[in-house]
Amino acid sequence: MNIKSFILKNKRLAIGGSITAIMVILAVTGLFFTPYDPNAMDISAKLSGISPRHIMGCDNFGRDIFSRVLAGLSTTMVVAVGTVFIGIVFGTLIGAFTGYYGGYLDEIMMRFNDAVLAFPSLLLALVFISVMGSGKLNVTIALGILFIPSYARIMRGEFLKCRNLDYVMSARLMGASDMRIMFVHILPNTVRVMLSTIAIGFNNAVLAEAGMSYLGIGVQPPDASLGRMLSEAQSYLFVRPGYAVCTGMAIVLLILGFSMLSEGLEKNA
């Protein structure tokens, strides 16, 4: 199958992957380079419109919006990567042991999982943040912990499905240890589902970080955050609508890209 026919057959995957790739490139760029210091204020340029110097204009403090959008994308992606990493690593370990061994371990862990999932995630995030304090690192840890139960349930299902398949039984007969069977034989066969789950996780992490920062309990100044920027732009919606539009579009494109990518991966799983 050539590239053209693959793209035509997997439009969602191709479009989602393209949007995601562009946004990731912009986020990585924002880590190392921005046209202006995202926190540098120029009162003379306060709420100025689009110009050759400021391609997205300036905010209410005279800060370059394009530079802040790049920095905000970087912040969001760093939090999302950390969140998904914590969730997938610990979720996979829990799912592997409970799905493979079953029994009382499975019952206890899954009931605890259900109890955590029964609570609204934002409420639990508020509890974590109130205990640990706000900031980029604490938001990442809090969201990562909240993502563990959903990943654990998905991976448990995969290990439960695979543990009695022929290749696993053959490995047991050949004397392979449980650890080798779980992480060498079964885990590679869960990669397709894991990739789709990771894409969904990025989507949820972006939404969660933006929502928490919008409410003022997420990433704190001076770090740029798309959610906080959108909250600030709300007060100037009719005076400087481009501020909210540019920030909102960055969030929308991130979520759209990861959503389409996850759907495409799920379809091809």
**pLDDT tens by residue, 204-251:** 888 888 888 888 888 887 788 888 888 888 888 888 888 888 888 999
pLDDT at residue 74 in the model: 92
Whole-model pTM: value is: 0.86
Q: Give the pLDDT score at 177.
A: 86
Say which residue, 145 or 5, is predicted with more confidence: 145
Q: How far apart are CA 29 and CA 66, in angstroms?
A: 12
β partners of residue 64: 58
pLDDT tens readout for residues 101-147? 888 877 888 888 887 777 777 777 777 877 777 778 888 888 888 88
pLDDT at position 268 over 80: no
2-6, 10-14, 42-46: range with lowest mean pLDDT: 2-6
Ordered by where they begin, the domains of the chain are 8-267 (1.10.3720.10)
